[in-house]
Amino acid sequence: MQQISYLSSPIPDINLISGYYKEFAFQKHYHLDYHFGLIVNGQQQFNLKGQSYTCGPGDLVLMPPDELHDGQARFDEGYEVKVLAVSPHWLSRLKPNNHQGQLGFHSPIVQEPRLFRALLNTHLVLSNNKFCALARDSLPYESFEQLLGRYARGTERDRQPIGTKQLAQVRDYVMSYLDQPIRLGQLAALCDLSERQFHRLFKQATGMSPHAWLTRLRLEKSLSLVKAGKPAAQVALQTGFYDQAHFSRTFRSVYGISPSKIN
């Protein structure tokens, strides 16, 4: 049985996940935030950029935004993970001065016990309001500065047929009309392309079809609304799902937990 909790933290730009995953497998997806996964027990395997990775206890998984990947337990006993989901805006403020372009990492898996303990402690402190307020404010800076100082690298995205500025424009448009029906022609027009061209080039640039990408954006937004205490029916309406049942099924298939179980 899965045991999954999605939690807010005192820092609005940092959210927390505590999960034990056994049968549930994440299909190909991406995040809007940086996800830093701390494998506590068991082993996880995932595919990223055509390569397969395996991580186990003590491993730190670094997953930047917009990187298409999957994830599942390697063995029947499953795996336990603590995740710090950090907004790009917050993390970019800690970027070393000599790093240019988008913040990336040399490897998706880091094995460093001291850093692992620091980030695990950060997760623990942020998830428990009994800790000192100053510690809750300070620890994230300390632990993520360690991480970025050792393992971050500056990157420029490879040139894509649809550029990053166009993708950002499409995303801004979609987020503004998330509760409305969105047509392929509308998105293609933003990039001055035909529908056929846009569909082909968008998938080439992102690794996802426009429809799958839109569904993921809707789910990312719905997660934040559910965590804010909005009722599922209202969230479904706000994020453009057909009805509450459709929303709940899709949410559970992606996150492994129903919206009503989110803390």
Which tens digit of pLDDT belongs to each residue from 80-127? Answer: 999 999 999 999 888 776 555 678 898 999 999 999 999 999 999 999
CB 150 within 8 A of CB 144: no
Q: Which of 141, 152, 169 is nearest to 84 (CA)?
A: 141
pLDDT of residue 72: 96
Mean pLDDT of 227-240: 92
In the chain, what percentage of residues exceed pLDDT 70? 94
- The domain 3-155 belongs to what CATH superfamily? Jelly Rolls (2.60.120.10)
Is 33's pLDDT higher than 70?
A: yes
Thinking of the domain 164-256, which architecture would CATH place it in?
Answer: Orthogonal Bundle (1.10)
Q: What is the pLDDT of residues 178-217, one digit of tens each?
A: 999 898 889 999 998 888 888 889 888 888 889 889 999 9
Per-residue three-class SS string for 8-24: ECCCCCEEEEEEEECCC
Mean pLDDT of the residues in the chain? 90
Q: Which of 152, 156, 151 is nearest to 101 (CA)?
A: 156
Mean pLDDT of 232-246: 91
Q: What is the pLDDT of residues 121-173, one digit of tens each?
A: 999 999 998 888 888 888 999 999 999 989 988 654 444 568 888 988 999 99
pLDDT of residue 263: 65
Domain ranges of the chain: 3-155, 164-256
